[in-house]
């Protein structure tokens, strides 16, 4: 049994398994070197030789308990035919969808063909990973994908997204259905290609009020989880409703996910008291503390472990690793989790 999978069977090992969101990426010099081989980020994502290597780099260096497929959530809009590009220093830029014509132009039929390199990456990874390392597949949740598809970029407040959700509910529902169907097929194929756990990133769920959250975060997630589990009943699914605050509890109770990843603003001890006893919690070290390092970092790691002892738990960050993170701080956290260097 891979240690990573134990919490999903209700076990509470003394040392929680650990992986970090964005554990592959620019904070690693070996990643920056690899990335220089394909300056176009989407091309990088569709090159199995490069994505397999990028996935393995943090495993080799740190020995995380799980590897996460190297890809991006925005391969789904790209595979649906929307123009997606990544600009250095800006992030993703998409030709925004503004109306029903834009939705009708999406091509759902060719999604799995276009994503064939992702499945190839997973197959190769499962062969190359150490036996005790689990393999995580992932996708963006519909609300977060719709955010990028309608806004065209990050770093904005989601006004266009909400105007479509409130003002053209029929069109918005049509877009969400296209996304749900594509995600179910994509996630099932990931499992068939070697993914042993799935994570759904809902990075923008924090801009939804209670009603939008119920309708467009919880409900689509619940349908996706049910449909994936119809085909693959035992695959653990982790949801990450970032910024959801107290609504993370409704999310845990209603979506059917096996685990919930909580951000750094949600106290784990509070989450633990408010989710079902079997619900795996994942999180939630502040990624800025991982940059800062030092005694405060050690204290936060110890506190998280103390708060979660006896509850099924996966150690992680509250959000992805930042590019300026010193790799030594990552090693330091894993070392302390494993009882090295002065753990009390
Ligand atoms: O190691 C891993 O976690 C696996 C790889 C992974 C990436 N993106 C690689 C990536 C994963 C799981 C993602 C998910 C993702 N992508 C999310 C959800 C998680 C979150 O952060 O909330 C989102 C919102 C995106 C969209 C996205 N992709 C943005 C906003 C950016 C730009 C921000 C940045 O750091 O530049 C990306 C680019 C991206 N995705 C990079 C990486 C390693 C950096 C690209 C580069 O190498 O230049």
pLDDT digits (tens, 9 = 90+) for 132-161: 999 999 999 999 999 999 999 999 999 999
Of the chain, the percentage scoring pLDDT greater than 90 comes to 97
Which residue has a Cα nearest atom 40 of ligand 1?
72
Of the chain, the percentage scoring pLDDT greater than 70 comes to 99
Q: What's the CA gap between 31 and 72, in Å, rounded?
A: 15
pLDDT at 232 over 90: yes
State the CATH architecture for 3-338: Alpha-Beta Barrel (3.20)
Which residue has a Cα nearest atom 33 of ligand 1?
91
Q: Is the peptide bond prior to 284 cis by the omega test (within 30 degrees of 0)?
A: yes
Instruction: Exactly one of 72, 215, 227, 250 is catalytic; name it.
Output: 72
Joined together, the tokens standing for residue 228 give: 């994936």
Q: How many other C-beta atoms can be found within 10 angstroms of the C-beta atom of residue 210?
A: 10
pLDDT the model gives residue 85: 98
pLDDT at 339 over 90: no
- Ligand 1: atom nearest CA of 86 is 38
**pLDDT-derived band of residue 340, with 50, 70 and 90 as boundaries?**
low
Instruction: Give the mutation target among 72, 282, 322 for probing the ligand 1 site: most ligand atoms within 8 A of CB.
Output: 72
- Statement: the pTM of the whole predicted model exceeds 0.95: yes
DSSP per residue, 10-62: T---SS--B--TT-SSTTSHHHHHHHTT--SHHHHHT-HHHHHHHHHHHHHHH
Length of the chain: 344
Joined together, the tokens standing for residue 301 give: 């790691």
Which residue has a Cα nearest atom 21 of ligand 1?
320
Q: Is 72 a catalytic residue?
A: yes
pLDDT the model gives residue 343: 42
**pLDDT-derived band of residue 1, with 50, 70 and 90 as boundaries?**
confident
Under 8 Å between Cβ of 76 and 92 = no
Q: Is 148 a catalytic residue?
A: yes
pLDDT at 234 over 50: yes
DSSP H or E run through 145 = helix 142-151
Which residue has a Cα nearest atom 10 of ligand 1?
72
pLDDT, tens digit (0-9, with 9 covering 90-100), for 167-190:
999 999 999 999 999 999 999 999
Instruction: Give the mutation target among 22, 142, 197, 203 for probing the ligand 1 site: most ligand atoms within 8 A of CB.
Output: 22
CA of 292 to the centre of ligand 1 (A): 21
Instruction: Exactly one of 27, 31, 46, 148 is catalytic; name it.
Output: 148
- Indicate the burial class of 270 (C-beta count within 10 angstroms; 0-12, 13-18, 19 or more): middle
pLDDT the model gives residue 344: 41
pLDDT the model gives residue 160: 98
Q: How many other C-beta atoms can be found within 10 angstroms of the C-beta atom of residue 37?
A: 12
Q: Is 26 a catalytic residue?
A: yes
**pLDDT-derived band of residue 342, with 50, 70 and 90 as boundaries?**
very low
Ligand 1 first shell, C-beta below 6 A = 21-26, 35, 41, 68, 70, 72-74, 86, 91-92, 138, 154, 201, 203, 320
Distances (CA, A) of 7 to 28, 66, 76, 244: 29, 13, 30, 23
pLDDT, tens digit (0-9, with 9 covering 90-100), for 29-76:
999 999 999 989 999 999 999 999 999 999 999 999 999 999 999 999
CA of 55 to the centre of ligand 1 (A): 13
Which residue has a Cα nearest atom 20 of ligand 1?
203
Q: Is 166 a catalytic residue?
A: no
For the chain, the average pLDDT equals: 97
Instruction: Give the mutation target among 19, 68, 73 for probing the ligand 1 site: most ligand atoms within 8 A of CB.
Output: 73
Q: Is 22 a catalytic residue?
A: yes
């Amino acid at each position: 049994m891979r240690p990573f999978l134990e919490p999903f069977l209700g076990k509470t090992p003394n040392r929680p398994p650990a992986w970090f969101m964005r554990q592959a990426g620019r904070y690693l010099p070996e990643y920056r070197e690899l990335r220089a081989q394909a300056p176009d980020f989407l091309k990088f994502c569709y090159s199995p030789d490069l994505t397999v290597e990028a996935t393995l780099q943090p495993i080799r260096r740190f020995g995380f308990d799980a590897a996460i497929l190297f890809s991006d959530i925005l391969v789904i809009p790209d595979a649906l035919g929307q123009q997606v590009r990544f600009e250095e220093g800006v992030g993703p830029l998409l030709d925004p969808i503004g109306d029903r014509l834009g939705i009708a132009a999406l091509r759902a039929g060719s999604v799995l063909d276009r994503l064939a390199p992702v499945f190839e990456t997973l197959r190769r990874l499962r062969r190359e990973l150490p036996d005790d390392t689990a393999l995580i597949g992932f996708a963006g949740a519909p609300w977060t994908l719709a955010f990028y598809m309608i806004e065209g970029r990050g770093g904005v407040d989601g006004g266009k997204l909400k105007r479509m959700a409130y003002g053209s509910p029929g069109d918005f529902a049509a877009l969400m259905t296209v996304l749900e169907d594509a995600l179910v097929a994509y996630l099932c194929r990931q499992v068939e290609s070697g993914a042993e756990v799935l994570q759904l990133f809902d990075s923008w769920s924090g801009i939804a009020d209670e009603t939008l959250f119920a309708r467009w975060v919880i409900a689509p997630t619940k349908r996706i989880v049910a449909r994936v589990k119809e085909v693959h009943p035992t695959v653990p699914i982790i949801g990450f409703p970032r910024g959801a605050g107290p609504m993370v509890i409704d999310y845990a109770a209603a979506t059917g996910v096996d685990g919930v990843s909580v951000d750094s603003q949600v106290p784990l001890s509070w989450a633990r008291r408010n989710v079902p006893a079997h619900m795996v919690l994942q999180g939630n070290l502040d990624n800025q503390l991982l940059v800062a390092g030092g005694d405060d970092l050690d204290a936060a790691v110890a506190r998280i472990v103390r708060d979660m002892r006896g509850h099924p738990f996966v150690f992680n960050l509250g959000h992805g690793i930042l590019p300026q993170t010193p790799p030594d701080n990552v090693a330091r956290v894993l070392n302390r989790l494993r009882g090295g260097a002065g753990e009390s």
